[in-house]
Structure 1
Amino acid sequence: MAVTELMPHTEPYQVVDRAERAFPAWAATVPAERGARLHRAADAMAARLDDLAEANHADTGRPRDEARASVEAGIGTLRQYAELGPLHRGRALQGGWNATDLMIPQPRGVVVALTPWNDPVPVACGLLGAALVTGNTAVHKPSERACRTGALLAELLAEALPEDVVQTVFGAGEVGAALAANPHVAVVAHVGSTHTGRSIAMAAAATGAKALLENGGNDAAIVDCDVDPAWAAAQVALGAYANGGQVCTSVERVFVHQDVAAPFLDALVKEAERWNDTLCPLVDANHRAGVHRQVTDAVSAGATLATGGTLPSGAGSWYPATVLTDCTPVMSVMTEETFGPVAPVMVVPDFAEGLALAAEDRHGLAASVFTADMANAQRAWRTLDVGTVKVNAVFGGAPGGAAQPRRLSGTGFGYGPELLDEMTTTKVVHLSPPGGAP
């Protein structure tokens, strides 16, 4: 099994070197064969579905049914790239009659994938699947908070692929930083915090590697006056509390029209208290402490606790579904990603003010808009400078969509067919016979 435990003092050059040596043969492998290998890995994952789901549950605290669904999504993602990879193509250009002109995608080299703990299987399967099927070799570092899941996934991938084509290493942030700074790495693909993403961008700028980043978000939800406030509250609660608020596109800020604010808040509090019955714990006590600090800072600055916001007694990392009212745009709970089950709410006089406040943010991952006014919906999706805008839903969308995060939230396509373009580079080829016209 190609798994290496790297301590902070260990230089990970040997792992990258092995991946670099494996690259020429893998790049020369027929794309259909690369896809077949990924299908083989997906088959192995399906055969160990229960074990992967249990590891996911143990690492992340997700309920077992959700942990299983997450693994199933990862298997589907790997199969998606197994099919899409052989179809990835270049272009023929219209040149001279006696010449052939082509634009050909080629693999970049060694891809380092740094993946998060909150949804470890689908994210890894997406980045690794796209990298491998296009002919790159890969070094994967799962989050140190998801080691069980990462180790089992590593075993299954390594069994289906040639030696050293994919390798998995474990360690804390120092290991990821060393991999990102390695001058023999062609791509660093990262899903995680904004702070880490910015460090990777600087390291990649120094080495010339391509940085493919999905960093943190501070996603807004705007509730207009012409929707059912109870329905909107249920949607916002889903966005704020699913997986304990530990979703990349969780609702982090709420702007509600003053005309429906009272019934919306009443319904949101009831939704939060209902979610407490099934809310999963946060990933660990340190993370919970950070979430609680955001809440207490907001209350100190004038916010009101409508429900939740108290640390439970005893061991564990569970945190209650929380609603904060009387929030202001300058509170840290409104300007920074909380990544926990917290819904901070600000009442606005009209939709235009909510849209303006939602747009005033350094992040640019996603946003949700709840309105029956199609003019407002059109204005919102055109105005909000984020990668994904969802109208009258917090989750969902057609398969194959691929968004580009903006500003502090990252850069590049992180999923969909376009991820194949990110993992390849294009070469222009001009073929003409000897003695012909130039």
Structure 2
Amino acid sequence: MSSYEGLLAAVVAKQGGRPSTDPATGEIVGHAPEHTPEDLDRAVRSARAAQPGWAALGHRERARLLEAAADAVDASAEALAELITLEQGKPLSGPGSRFEAGAVSGWLRATAAIPLGTEPIEASGATIDYQPVGLVGAIGPWNWPAMIATWQFAPALRMGNAVVMKPSEHTPLSVLAVAELVNRVLPEGVFTVLSGGRELGAALTGNPAFGKLMFTGSTRTGKAIVAASAGHLPRLTLELGGNDPGIVLPDVDPEAIAEDLFWGAFLNTGQTCACLKRLYVHEDVYEAVVGALANVADKASMGPGIEEHNTLGPLTTREQFRIVDRLVEQAKASGARVVTGAEPDRDAPGNFYPATLIADIDPEQPLVLEEQFGPALPIVRYTDLDEAIGMANALDTGLGASVWSADPGRAREIATRIQAGTVWVNQHGTVDPMIPFGGVKGSGYGLEFGVEGLKAVAVPRVING
């Protein structure tokens, strides 16, 4: 028996259910339970009953239980990684499914360790502390299903809330598996995962029992959640779509930055909200940067993630394959230069789209202006830095961005002019459980991670006098 099979057996529907398929082969991995709004109502009642006792445990005991939950995840880490690979597609190795399974336990431990107590308000006798919201509802994405689920439920639980979560209908088994593992140590009712489609998601966001909603996904769906929840005014954290720009200055060593540039764009086959999705390169180093990137791309091995030697896997859904294919074909038709890739086998099984670099592209092409969320990077030539910054800021997205330079001080100065929640210097897309993360403009609002992330899933209380 493969290591994942026992874990899978614990979470699949006992009969019927929604099929979850392997994006590398199209074969069914398992059937997820098809939960209903009635199941949601039962989960809410259970959460309401469990939450006061969970809150009463206090920070120290809740942190201890989150540590124990991390131990449970670590004990089944390989099984969880294999299941993520089979359902989502990312490779086991490198920054893939083993990394994601490790991030689940890592984020649980980091969240448990963050100190947060009563804080004095400077120059006054007042203090501020943070109380549980009560019930937190969360909806997760399909690109990093287990890791991002943990970003949502771990801080919410740490702050004394009960959590009801709906994963993406494309990757429910991975999140159900995380719940199976952590619920081996958590009290009954404080964390529930329900799998289902849009009807279930709409029921969750419209349910007035939730004092806080968390969502990671598209800007369009985020706007729908704002509208659906407006009647009962829950607090919201929305981490929405990004079209992250990178600006390369003329002083760089192209060979030195190529590896980090490539993985900043192609991590998880480009299916990451904070991936580098459009690259602006100064004309003095343009051809050298393009060539260095092509050398890295040509060495990357794409194939089924379950095969250890592969570093790039398939796109998770056929719909995403079609989006990337459409945008690249439009760029080719416009006269843009294909450096590498752009020739998928559309009839082959699996959603494999080759790592693609598109140079000499008009900055008004859809591949630049729309979030491709896949392995196709447009590389735009610029001559004037102010123009490059203007292009970087022109879109209604602002999740991440990056500046690449041999002079980090100069890069930081430029970073202050870019409209994004995070601007990285000589790196892109790296996250840390202690460093706050969130977007601006159409990329959403609210912060996750660190002390600010804990405060975001709590209610501030000021005592004055």
TM value normalised by structure 2: 0.86
How far, CA to CA, are the matches of 2:123 and 2:102 in structure 1?
47
- Decide which of 142, 153, 159 is 2:184's aligned counterpart: 159
1:436 paired residue number:
none
Partner of 1:332: 366
Query: What SS is found at the alignment partner of 1:27?
Result: helix
CA RMSD of aligned residues (A): 2.3
Q: Which runs of 5+ in 1 are unaligned?
A: 432-438
Say whether residues 1:310 and 2:343 are aligned partners: yes
Deviation at 1:102, TM superposition (A): 3.7
Provide the rounded CA distance (Å) in 2 between the counterparts of 1:256 and 1:91.
Answer: 46
* Match in the other structure for 2:111: 81
Residue 66 of structure 2 is aligned to residue 32 of structure 1: no
In the other structure, the counterpart of 1:143 is 168
Is residue 139–residue 169 contact of structure 1 (8 Å, CA) maintained in 2? yes
Q: Structure 1 residues 67, 347: CA separation in 2 closer, same or farther (over 3 Å shift)?
A: same
Tell me the distance in 1 between the aligned counterparts of 2:232 and 2:284: 54
Query: Is residue 101 of structure 2 the alignment partner of residue 71 of structure 1?
Result: yes
Aligned-residue offset at 1:204: 2.8
> Could you say what secondary structure the match of 1:12 adopts?
helix
1:402 corresponds in structure 2 to: 436
Matched, 1:126 2:121: no
Q: Partners of 1:417 and 1:199 in 2: how far apart?
A: 28
Q: Which residue of 2 aligns with 1:359?
A: 393
Give the secondary-structure state (helix, strand or coil) at the position aligned to 1:249: coil
Task: Tell whether the 8 Å contact from 1:284 to 1:316 is kept in structure 2 after alignment.
Answer: no
Mapped contact 1:333–1:344 kept (Cα < 8 A): yes
Letter in 2 for 1:67: S
1:11–1:178 contact (8 Å) kept in structure 2: no
Aligned to 1:233, the other structure's residue is in SS state helix
User: Does structure 1 retain, via aligned residues, the 8 Å contact 2:110–2:433?
Assistant: no
1:73 maps to amino acid: A
- CA 1:167/1:109 → structure 2, altered by over 3 Å: closer, same or farther? same
In structure 1, which of residues 40, 43, 47 is the aligned counterpart of residue 75 of structure 2?
Answer: 47
Are 2:201 and 1:171 aligned? Answer: no
- Aligned partners of 2:275 and 2:429 also within 8 Å: no
- TM-score normalised per structure 1: 0.91
Shift of 1:375: 6.0
1:126 shift after superposition: 2.1
Which amino acid in structure 1 is aligned with residue 188 of structure 2?
Answer: E
SS of alignment partner, residue 160 of structure 1:
coil
Note if contact 1:223-1:232 (Cα within 8 Å) is conserved in structure 2: no
> How far apart are the structure 1 equivalents of 2:61 and 2:133?
19
Deviation at 1:273, TM superposition (A): 2.1
Answer with 174-183 or 304-313: which moved more: 304-313
How many residue pairs align between the two structures? 426
- Give the aligned partner of residue 435 of structure 1: none
Aligned to 1:377: 411
Question: Is 1:189–2:176 an aligned residue pair?
Answer: no
- Residue 58 (structure 1) aligned to one of 74, 81, 86: 86
Alignment of 1:21 onto 2:54: no
How far did residue 271 of structure 1 move?
Answer: 2.4
Aligned partner of 2:319 in structure 1 is: 286
Q: Which is worse superposed, 266-275 or 239-248? A: 266-275
Contact 2:35 2:194 in 1 (8 A): no
After superposition, the Cα gap between the structure-2 partners of 1:209 and 1:397, relative to the gap in structure 1 and judged at 3 Å, is closer
Q: Which moved more, 1:249-258 or 1:320-329?
A: 320-329
Kept in 1: contact 2:400–2:429 (CA 8 A) = no
